[in-house]
Amino acid sequence: MEQAKVNIKQRLAYNYLRDDVTKFICYGGAGGGGKSWLGCEWLMQCCYYLPGTRWFAGRNNLKDSRQSISVTFEKVAKWYGFAGYKHTTEGVRFDNGSEIIFLDLTYYPVKDPMYERLGSKEYTGGWIEEAGQVHFLAFEVLKTRIGRHLNDVYHVPGKILITCNPKKNWLYRDFYKPWKEGKLREPYAFIQALVQDNPFATDDYIDSLRNTNDRVTKERLYFGNWEYENDPSALCDYDAVCDLFTNEHVKPAGESSGSADLAMKGRDRFVAGHWKGNVCFIKIDQEYSEGKVIETELRKMMIECSIPRSRMVADSDGLGAYLESYLNGIKEFHGGSRPVNPEFDNLKSECAFKLAELINNRLIRIVCTELQKERIIEELSVLKQAHVDADTRKKGIISKDKMKETLGHSPDYLDMLIMAMVFRIKPVLKRPKAKLGKI
């Protein structure tokens, strides 16, 4: 058998994978660091030395799990001259009864928003590959499914190996940033692995990363730069978005107001927030509702939260007009109408830029559930300026259709937050031009 094909960063990863305290190991941060090799090699060893155990290997979709992971698995097996396994429709089956199950970690917000399909599974441990493409909730659910199959027999803790390239999402928030600040604590661990750390990376691959003309690719995949801002059109700073939920210096004070993004059966979500000053409490969150239910729920929220009708805003795509006839005096939001300040292309853009301003200055706090938090973070990532390179155009944001295309669903929480800014925008006061006096 060949000698182990392990670089120094992979050895460090193995220290965490074999200890008794670390449960979640994030490895990567650039291209060519040996991520896929490490994942396949670790699972192969676990299955070989722990007969009858069950492990998972998951990516953002099942096709990638089957094809990409299988290719690397074959390379690892060939290197070690190992043949005691066979591929099955579910993954890889070992001659000693161990198995690796390939998982589809795609997020299905309508048919499986809570990853219930993973809830009945029991695993010894597992691996999330290309985790930057995987929803945070998949990781949260899988954390509850490990350590449940023969771990007590072999006296091994359940562990999840997470491999990834730089991505400003839950990986940045929960692993990279705390690691960089020296605040990452057990049972979490992070290892920054670059292509330069991998002596087995080919010169051609290293040159392709080094010489790429795309700055984003080079910063992320060659230098492993997590901080690189790859989208100049993004209106909100990612760290500021994460701080939205912990800005405890923002107190619930002042007049109450409310904002609601409406949805009837089959149309997005019905989301409403109660604002006390600049603190937003998510009060209503339903997949769909009948018109009468929307009216009843909003009326109830307004009474319980002491929201005057003149301080309640709802979208005007037909439902808002319907509501206004029953909740007389509420404010209809017409996003395409004239802005207060002429530098913007319409009212919605003006409110969106105001929202970004308050977020970036840490002047808003949102009180919500963890699942709502993840979706709000996701939706704020598509709040982008349109025509960012055009100096002569009025300021605007990308269309809702583009947002939907990126998210795979409607940005309902974002719309609710944007509408609330209608009570916070003010006209720009222009100083009168000084008159020239007589000499």
- Kindly state the percentage of the chain with pLDDT values over 90: 60
| Of 421, 354, 423, 344, the residue nearest 386 (C-alpha) | 344
pLDDT at 2: 47
Rounded Cα–Cα distance for residues 295 and 284 (Å)? 12
pLDDT in tens, 7-31: 788 999 999 999 999 999 999 877 7
Neighbours of 164 (CB within 10 A): 23
In this predicted model, what pLDDT tens digit does every residue of 213-233 receive, in sequence order? 766 677 777 777 787 766 778
Question: How many Cβ atoms are within 10 Å of 50's Cβ, its own excluded?
Answer: 22
Which pTM was predicted? 0.76
In terms of DSSP H, where are the helices of 260-366?
291-304, 319-326, 347-360
Residues of the chain whose pLDDT is less than 70?
1-6, 197-202, 205-206, 214-216, 229-230, 264-267, 288-289, 317-326, 388-392, 427-439
* Share of residues in the chain with pLDDT > 70 (%): 88
